[in-house]
Amino acid sequence: MSRIKTALLALAASAAMAAPAFAQDFAITNATLATGEVREPIPNANVVVRGGQVVAAGPNVPVPADIRVIDGTGMWVTPGLFSPLTDLGLWDVAAVEESNDRSAGRSPFSAALDFSVAINPANQHILSSRAGGVTRASVIGYPSGSIFAGQGAIIDLGADRDVVTRPRAFQMVAIGETGGRLAGGSRVAAHALLRNALREARDFGARSGIRGGELRPGNVRTGDDLPLDPRVADDATDRGTDVELSRFDAAALVPVVNGSQPLYVQVDRAADILAALALKEEFAALDLVLVGAAEGWMVAERIAAAGVPVIAAALLDLPERFEQLASTQSNIGRMVDAGVTVAIGPFMDMEQPRYAPQYAGNLVGLSRLDGATGLSWGEAFAAITSIPAQISGQGGRSGVLAPGAHGDAVLWDGDPLEISSAPVRVFIDGVEQPLDNHQTRLRERYRDLDESQLPKAYVH
């Protein structure tokens, strides 16, 4: 308790300053190390963090004499989990509409919606996820008024006011059953709407001279690497008469059509996946990421050949929709075997980001069953750390314990993929994080039910 209070006080005193300024230098020693890369865990390893960054991680890493040492004996040390496609910070209570910024079905805007402005770092779901070892995430809401969800952001889950590390990091569009419904009742409409939007954006970008940002990667938030928001560029461009998109939405799609902002495409059916990949024949610069891909295993070679990464649910195995008839828990294993880069996700709504290790662990369990295809331990852990970071443009900086990466380290009381394990300590940018929240406070208040002296309301 006192450790947490101290941390909170320190944070309160320093809220205006950047997190790395408060990073502590430390070494975690003699722990089992999972680096986040595709490799099996390494016993008896050390991790050294200085100035908010990882300096070294491995079995024979020397521990500097002057550094604070955290004994990791009997524990595991890993990078923080990277949660791809979450709605963290966008809602307090899903069914309490006024607390929920995930959908904007009555907005006049679509692709222009920028979710970075609504992410609340004090949100309880962020606090709970942090206690679950999640240190970074990409955040976006749902496609609601249009096939375009809008622009998602990259965040860290540190207990400070600076939650967004990269706004407008990607755009998302739905073109399967959901996209068809939103576009006017048919996949045909979704495809027409998408193509027209990209065409208008290309045309608008060319006429207005909007560059639409720098190319990936290089997406560290140092200030000058962040592209200007093309939506607010002043211009007097004549857009012609055949215009379906508002100027704001068209400007937002300029970086997409230029390939400088990735386009996440929600598709599940094998045929829809191929239709999504085919978009690159018409718009060659598109930087695609598939989201969903429940039937991805059926066209895995084609996805691999296209070099398009996938964010897929680990355990979907029911034909919950007609576009998911062939869903199986072996989907990710089969895609990985075919050479596809796959992260486990999304983590929206009831899918809490801190469930990621359980899902990854299930895929390891699956690999031990004849006839099923799962992942090795190293592959599974990478699918919730380095791979989602890489897909999110944060490769090498997040989701790994490697020199130069963010000092995001999690110390676990056991194998992180085992459901009985949990984080003991969490560091983000080298700063030790408080792990308490509304739920832990309730737990302590109701540890016993004794009200003989005063009501529970006085226990705090």
Partner 1 sequence: MKIVDSMKRAGASLAVIAMAGAVSACATTGSETPRSASANDAVPYASTYRAYPGAPTALVGATVFDGAGGRIENGTVLFENGEIVAVGDAGLAVPAGYTRIDGTGKFVTPGIIDIHSHLGDYPSPSVDAHSDGNEATAPTTPNVWAEHSVWPQDPGFSRALANGGVTALQILPGSANLMGGRSVTLKNVPSRTVQGMKFPGAPYGLKMACGENPKRVYGSRGRIPSTRMGNFAVNRQTWIEAQEYAAGDRKDRDLGKETLAGVLDGDILIHNHCYRADEMALVMDMAKEFGYRVSAFHHAVESYKIGDLLRENDVCSAIWADWWGFKMEAYDGIPENAALLQNAGACVVIHSDDQNGIQRLNQEAAKAQADGRRMGIDISDAEVIRWLTLNPAKAMGIDAMTGSLQSGKMADVVLWNGDPLSVYSRPEKVWIDGALMYDARDPARRPVSDFELGQPGEGDFK
Minimum distance, C-beta of residue 375 to partner 1, in the bound complex (Å): 12
Minimum distance, C-beta of residue 193 to partner 1, in the bound complex (Å): 24
Minimum distance, C-beta of residue 18 to partner 1, in the bound complex (Å): 30
Comparing CB distances to partner 1, the nearer of 86 and 362 is: 362
Rounded Cα–Cα distance for residues 411 and 423 (Å) = 6
Comparing CB distances to partner 1, the nearer of 24 and 440 is: 440
CA quadruple 55, 59, 60, 66: dihedral sign: positive
Comparing CB distances to partner 1, the nearer of 46 and 328 is: 328
298 contacts partner 1 (rule: CB under 8 A):
yes
Binding residue (CB under 8 A) for partner 1 from 118, 226, 422, 459: 422
Comparing CB distances to partner 1, the nearer of 66 and 448 is: 448
Q: Which two tokens stand for residue 110?
A: 């679509």
Contact letters for partner 1, residues 244-283 (x by CB under 8 A): --------------------------x-------------
Q: Which of these ranges, 73-81, 94-102, 234-242, 279-287, lies near partner 1 under the rule CB under 8 A?
A: 94-102
Binding residue (CB under 8 A) for partner 1 from 62, 218, 371, 455: 371
Query: Residue 56: phi, psi to the nearest 5?
Result: -160, 155
Binding residue (CB under 8 A) for partner 1 from 225, 282, 301, 320: 320
DSSP string, 218-254: ----SSTTSPP-GGG--------S---S-HHHHHHHH
Give one word for 369, left, alpha or beta, with left for phi > 0 and alpha for psi -120 to 50. beta
Q: What is the dihedral of CA 174, 180, 183, 186, to 10 degrees?
A: 160
Q: What contacts 236, CB < 8 A, 6 or more positions away?
A: none
Minimum distance, C-beta of residue 372 to partner 1, in the bound complex (Å): 4
Binding residue (CB under 8 A) for partner 1 from 35, 330, 386, 392: 330
**Residue 421 identity:** S
Residue 66: helix, strand or coil by DSSP?
coil
Comparing CB distances to partner 1, the nearer of 14 and 124 is: 124
Binding residue (CB under 8 A) for partner 1 from 328, 390, 394, 398: 328
350 contacts partner 1 (rule: CB under 8 A):
yes
376 contacts partner 1 (rule: CB under 8 A):
no
Q: Which of these ranges, 12-20, 336-344, 345-353, 427-435, lies near partner 1 under the rule CB under 8 A?
A: 345-353
Comparing CB distances to partner 1, the nearer of 10 and 326 is: 326
Q: What contacts 27, CB < 8 A, 6 or more positions away?
A: 46, 47, 48, 49, 63, 64, 67, 68, 69, 70
Q: What does DSSP assign to residue 126?
A: H
- Name the residue among 367, 427, 304, 444 with its Cα closest to residue 51: 427
Q: Which two tokens stand for residue 303?
A: 């996805």
Tell how strand 42-50 and strand 53-58 pair up.
Answer: antiparallel
315 contacts partner 1 (rule: CB under 8 A):
yes
Binding residue (CB under 8 A) for partner 1 from 215, 358, 378, 436: 358
365 contacts partner 1 (rule: CB under 8 A):
yes
Rounded Cα–Cα distance for residues 349 and 367 (Å) = 28
Q: Which two tokens stand for residue 147?
A: 């096939």
Binding residue (CB under 8 A) for partner 1 from 10, 372, 396, 459: 372
Rounded Cα–Cα distance for residues 160 and 428 (Å) = 10
Binding residue (CB under 8 A) for partner 1 from 6, 44, 186, 439: 439
Binding residue (CB under 8 A) for partner 1 from 361, 388, 430, 434: 361
Helix (H) or strand (E) holding 316: none
Rounded Cα–Cα distance for residues 360 and 374 (Å) = 9
Minimum distance, C-beta of residue 357 to partner 1, in the bound complex (Å): 8
Minimum distance, C-beta of residue 136 to partner 1, in the bound complex (Å): 21
Comparing CB distances to partner 1, the nearer of 324 and 341 is: 324
122 contacts partner 1 (rule: CB under 8 A):
no
6 contacts partner 1 (rule: CB under 8 A):
no
- Name the residue among 329, 342, 321 with its Cα closest to residue 268: 321
420 contacts partner 1 (rule: CB under 8 A):
yes
436 contacts partner 1 (rule: CB under 8 A):
no
User: How far is the CA of 197 from the CAs of 16, 57, 158, 243, 257, in angstroms?
Assistant: 40, 46, 37, 9, 9
Rounded Cα–Cα distance for residues 237 and 207 (Å) = 6
Comparing CB distances to partner 1, the nearer of 123 and 258 is: 123
Residue 22: helix, strand or coil by DSSP?
helix
Binding residue (CB under 8 A) for partner 1 from 411, 417, 426, 431: 417
Partners of residue 81 on adjacent β-strands = 134
What residue ranges bind partner 1 (CB under 8 A)? 92-96, 124-125, 270, 295, 298, 315-322, 324-330, 349-352, 358, 361-362, 364-366, 368-373, 417-422, 438-440, 442-443, 446-447, 449, 456
